[in-house]
Amino acid sequence: MSDNKKNIDNQLIHGFDLNLLEVFELVYVYESVREASLRLGRSSSAISQSLNKLREMFSDPLFVRSGTRLIKTATAVNIHSAINENYLGLLNNLQELVSNNVRNSVNVFCSPYCGVRVLPVIMNYVTQENIECNIIHQTLELDEMNLDDQLSLRQVDLIFDINPIFRTDIVNTPISLEPLIWVCSKNHPRIKDTLTAEMMKNEKFVTFNSQGMSVKQGQEDIKDKYGQRNIVFSSASVFATVAVVEQSDLISPMPEWLYKKYGSSYMLKQIKSELPLPDLHIYMISRKSTLRNDVVRRISEGVVAGLYAGQ
């Protein structure tokens, strides 16, 4: 490498703002300047200015707008691949330097159903143990398929979901077994208390809308046992499903816990079937490094103990 090239590279490194890495990674993950600005608490114009600096530095647009999304260029993908591991390593090292007692907030991501199952356990444990922290809950969305990236960027401490994340730095802890049952409206004109494979051919069904492998595998298992069903409604929300089933002649699988908790309020009834439905697991998902924090570790242990005690 020539001395001139070394001098240019040194100037670039010396003047590089490491905050640009965080901006780049958030825009990369969320494909949105607005979302990155919300996560960082900065204005959209400030995020755009940071992107312009990166574009000038790499002589590439990095992200190209397509509708409401920003599409990554090949250069952006290469940058992400090159810096991601080292960037995460830097964050991990910095976290190790911070005292375990400084943390005063824990970010929890989960679906509304998992929230109903888990959040009361968390809050009861935090209260009983007098843990000084603020629990911040955010709801998982159907199109939010970048949970592993959010774990990497430390946007979330604990995830509770039915779909584990398989990565070497991630811990997936099964915390609850969720048996599924068939339900329909108490006013269903044809279904009394039993559902046979023959009856299923003439009924209409609801299914859970999820891209997760465990859900898709469960749906395939149902198909193998019962054959092809006439599915006319799908939703990512079990609570929306409950409301629809109550006001229709549709049949739906449902977590048994949810039925026992809300079935009578929504005028639902359980249907016996010839073959049982597959069970689902709820997993607690977190980075190994996050579990080194005393507050997060204590809360995670409290969740496991609390949910197992209730089963």
User: Which pairing describes strands 158-161 and 134-139: parallel, antiparallel, or unpaired?
Assistant: unpaired
| pLDDT interval class at 172 (50, 70, 90) | very high
Do 10 and 159 fall within a single domain?
Answer: no
Domain boundary among 50, 81, 97: 97
Tell me what the mean pLDDT of segment 4-22 comes to. Answer: 58
Do 203 and 76 fall within a single domain?
Answer: no
Q: How many beta carbons lie within 10 A of that of residue 255, not counting itself?
A: 21
Do 82 and 219 fall within a single domain?
Answer: no
Q: Which residues pair with 252 in a beta bridge?
A: 183
Q: How many domains does the chain have?
A: 3
Whichever domain contains 124, its CATH number is 3.40.190.10
Do 162 and 290 fall within a single domain?
Answer: yes
Q: Return the DSSP state at 59.
A: T
Domain ranges, residue 291: 105-175+281-309
Question: Are 139 and 111 a contacting pair, CB within 8 Å?
Answer: yes
Global pTM exceeds 0.75:
no
Do 220 and 169 fall within a single domain?
Answer: no
> pLDDT at residue 8 above 50?
no
Do 242 and 268 fall within a single domain?
Answer: yes
Do 188 and 151 fall within a single domain?
Answer: no
Question: Are 47 and 23 a contacting pair, CB within 8 Å?
Answer: yes
Give tens-digit pLDDT for 223-276.
887 778 899 999 888 899 999 999 999 999 999 999 999 888 899 999 998 777
Do 171 and 184 fall within a single domain?
Answer: no
Domain boundary among 75, 97, 119: 97
Do 196 and 264 fall within a single domain?
Answer: yes
* b/e sequence 82-92, b meaning 16+ C-beta within 10 Å: eebeebbeebb
| pLDDT interval class at 101 (50, 70, 90) | very low
**DSSP annotation string for 107-139:** EEEE-HHHHHHHHHHHHHHHHHTT---EEEEEE
Helices (H), the chain: 3-14, 19-30, 33-40, 44-58, 74-97, 112-128, 147-152, 197-200, 213-226, 238-246, 256-262, 294-309
* 33-37, 83-87, 166-170, 214-218 — most confident range: 33-37
> pLDDT at residue 184 above 60?
yes
Percentage above 70 pLDDT, the chain: 82
Do 170 and 304 fall within a single domain?
Answer: yes
Give tens-digit pLDDT for 102-148.
557 888 988 889 999 999 999 999 999 998 889 999 886 544 445 66
- Rounded Cα distance between 273 and 152, Å, is 43
> pLDDT at residue 206 above 70?
yes
End-to-end CA distance of the chain: give it in Å, rounded: 65
Do 186 and 274 fall within a single domain?
Answer: yes
Domain boundary among 68, 97, 126: 97
Whichever domain contains 89, its CATH number is 1.10.10.10
Percentage above 90 pLDDT, the chain: 30
Question: Are 183 and 256 a contacting pair, CB within 8 Å?
Answer: no
Do 123 and 243 fall within a single domain?
Answer: no
